[in-house]
Structure 1
Amino acid sequence: MIYLADIRNWLKGFNIADYYYSGKLDANKEKAICVYQRKSTIEAVRAVGGKSSYNIKPISVLIHWNKNSTETEKTAYKLYEQLEAVSSFLLNDTKVYFIKLLQSEPISVGTDDNGIYEYVIEFDIYYERK
């Protein structure tokens, strides 16, 4: 099983943000990334005759950066490109087969109430079921 905290900790290895969160963002902190479980319409993965050998974790990553739209956009693209380059790897003791990015680029979601620009990257993590 993969948990949001596992993904948050994995993203720290990309060395992009000053702060990393899972489940809830501290909106008072700039240059932060938060990992959420995306609401998904993915059906449970089932194989004929039992469990399948893999599962899917739907993820949404919020890049909550600063009041400069260009810096925020560049940071979102930097993370997107790093995710795009990922191939199979171990996340704790779980084998991740691949990451499927759901949009062709990070999505701007405007600013929060404090004028901080934000982007979202959505993806599915395909991982080995144990």
Structure 2
Amino acid sequence: MLTLDDIRGYIAGIVNGSNVYIGKLNNKKDHSVGIYHRQGNGPPVMALGGYDYSSYDIRRVSLLIHWDKDVQASEKAAYNLYEKLKNVSSLSIGDTPINCIILQVPEPIDVGTDDNGVYEYVIWLDFIYGK
């Protein structure tokens, strides 16, 4: 199983010096990335014979890039993370082999600012991982 905490550890390694968290965090610090479960649609991955015979599964996540009050710096941080994810060529997270990362948006989505005027972007992606 690939957990949000596993993914948090991976993302923390590629956004050096930033705060990376899972779940709701009140009073988010600037230069933070939040990892959230994202609901999918459709049936679960199911091979003939049942779930135990499936060789892979999917973990759908949403990344919230909560950066700072400078829109240009915030956009740059979001696009840097997006490019790093887009260019992964080989990956295991812990003992879990990642077969594929599917970016579900063509670019980071600008979601405006929070109540404190900090710019935020969202990236949706799916991790296809071996069981």
Shift of 1:24: 1.8
Q: Give 1:16 shift.
A: 4.2
RMSD, aligned α-carbons:
1.3
Shift of 1:92: 0.7
Letter in 1 for 2:85: L
Identity of counterpart residues, as a percentage? 46
One-letter amino acid of the structure 2 residue matched with residue 67 of structure 1: K
Structure-1 separation of matches of 2:68 and 2:56:
38
How many residue pairs get matched?
Answer: 129
TM-score (norm 2): 0.93
Q: Counterpart of 2:10?
A: 10
Structure 1 unaligned segments of length 5 or more: list them: none
**Residue 60 of structure 2 contacts residue 127 of structure 2 at CA under 8 Å; is this kept in 1?**
yes
Instruction: Indicate conservation of the 8 Å contact 1:17/1:33, yes or no.
Output: no
Note the residue ranges of structure 2 that are not aligned, 5 or more in a row: none
Partner of residue 68 from structure 1, selected from 70, 77, 100: 70
Please give the per-residue CA displacement for 1:68-122, whole angstroms capped at 9, x wherever unaligned. Answer: 1111011000000000011331111111101000011000000011111000000
Between stretches 63-72 and 41-50, larger displacement belongs to 41-50
- Secondary structure of 1:35's counterpart equals strand
Counterpart secondary structure, 2:102:
strand
SS of 1:13's equivalent in the other structure is: helix
